[in-house]
Amino acid sequence: MMTGAEYIESLRRLKPELHFMGQRVESVVDHPAMRPHVNSAAATYDLATNPETAELGSAVSHLTGRRINRWTHIPQDREDLVKKVKMLRAVGQVTGTCFQRCVGMDGFISTYSVTFEMDRKHGTDYHERFKRFLVETQDADLMTAGAMTDPKGDRSKRPGEQHDPDLFVRVVERRPDGVVIRGCKLHQTGAVNSHQFLVMPGQGLVESERDYAIVCAVPVDAPGVIMVFGRQVNDSRKWEGKVDQGNPTYGVVGGEAMVIFEDVFVPNARIFMNGETDFAGLLVDRFASYHRQNYGACKSGNLDVLVGATASLAEMHGVLKAGHVRDKLAEMGHLVETMYGGALACSHECTNLGCGTAFVDPLQANVSKLNVGRYYPEVTRLAQDIAGGFIATLPSEQDLESPRVGDYIRKYYQTQEDVPAEARIKLGRLVENMTGSTPIVECMHGAGSPQAQKVVIQRQLDWGARMKMARRVAKVGGKGNP
């Protein structure tokens, strides 16, 4: 397994085509807009190799018996799923932001089980191919970006009905030795600092959409792969200094990018679905359940940091013991633990699939993610409430260092005699960073928008059984479903 430092050095050997703000980026490691996201992903490597945290961050491969990074592990039982949740919260507490490896991890887990079932039905050999690829990934300790979200175009139309067929990633040529793919994936977390992509369909498909049923692995620097790094609110602060960033080491969210596949060749050894439309929806559903499991864990870890920043500011302001502040902090803690409890619940209520993989309870996973979409914004609102209005009007780091006005800023932003103004300003910027629009949009729409969770909940709940319970208790007859 690699350490965080070794992971960072491994990125220097890659030569992807990467663009940001109209310029070609030569080194993702050295670019100030991207280095914080590199550091955040590096924390996942350090968690696995640090003896104090290795029990959470690493696992024993069921394929080789070798110790591997848990981000490349296929969970075999309830304990594996629970450790996955605890690992996510632990890294969230270290970074205070997204650490980017979850989509690839959940793509691995889902593809492992779906290829097993495809082979049983269709007589293909995708599962053995995938196992070989997975062992290579485990042994090299590679970071994989899961690539699922297509541009989608007109949402009222299916992939095959779009005015431009490339609005969903598709196969444009099949050869004896592989395929050529074309299209784009948007909002790709951790794309620019990964080693490879796992490309997956983003929705269920019908038989006529065979070209869109493609699952494959692609190196980030393969010919024809083009990445465009996305802008974030206040991102120019990353190259203006440290104080105004709020989280200068680890950044905001996951450094999402647009990933273009311009006629990219994929060899057969890296293809794990090729036209089997009847399994596309199953893959998406399984992925969604695993990924929604994560949100109650990673977001509770992030919010542990926010709660700590909020309480620290309340202490600096001399209001930590005020009744209304204590009540709001308690509510923040309650909401955070509720999110975490949902992630644990869907893990504990797991089952095992035919291939042996432990599968989270999909109902509880979707309930957990829906709670995150509701509760995360409320925790950020309470943080802003307690922190106060100064976080929205702070002078810049350059003014803080100004020989003319810097001392005035320190004088008038100081609260208590033993609390330097810089400490208050840094915590204020951290709260601003963690409660801005980017984290809230990501927690709302990452792993599927709230309506997606409601659809699954509607489908998973046994409404008839519940109605029968009520009629039995009330001693009435009748039948029906909503």
CA-nearest of 393, 94, 388, 379 to 244 is: 393
Candidates 73, 137, 187, 298; catalytic one: 298
- Which of 98, 216, 346, 350 is flagged as catalytic? 98
- Return d(Cα 255, Cα 36) in angstroms, integer: 9
Instruction: Assess whether 442 carries a catalytic annotation.
Output: yes
Active site residue 102: yes
Catalytic site includes residue 337: no
383, 306 contact by CB (below 8 A): yes
Contact present, 429 and 246 (Cβ < 8 Å) = yes
Whether 55 is a known active-site residue: answer no
Residue 260 — φ and ψ, nearest 5°?
-105, 130
* Catalytic choice (95, 149, 189, 277): 189
Amino acid at 155: R
Determine whether 298 is an active site residue. Answer: yes
CB 357 within 8 A of CB 76: yes
User: Which contacts qualify for 50-55: CB closer than 8 Å, 24 or more apart?
Assistant: 53/90, 55/83
Which of 73, 291, 376, 397 is an active site residue?
Answer: 291
Whether residue 257 contacts residue 106, with contact meaning beta carbons closer than 8 Å, is answered with no
Catalytic residue, candidates 45, 95, 102, 443: 102
346 is catalytic: no
Catalytic residue list contains 216:
no
Asked about 355 being catalytic, the answer comes back as: no
- Cα separations in angstroms, 406 against 168, 401, 423, 425, 442: 53, 5, 14, 13, 35
Long-range CB contact pairs, 123-128, < 8 A, 24+ = 124/276, 126/271, 126/272, 126/273, 127/355
Q: Are 457 and 367 in contact (CB under 8 A)?
A: yes
Give the residue numbers annotated as catalytic, written as ranges: 98, 102, 189, 256, 291, 295, 298, 442
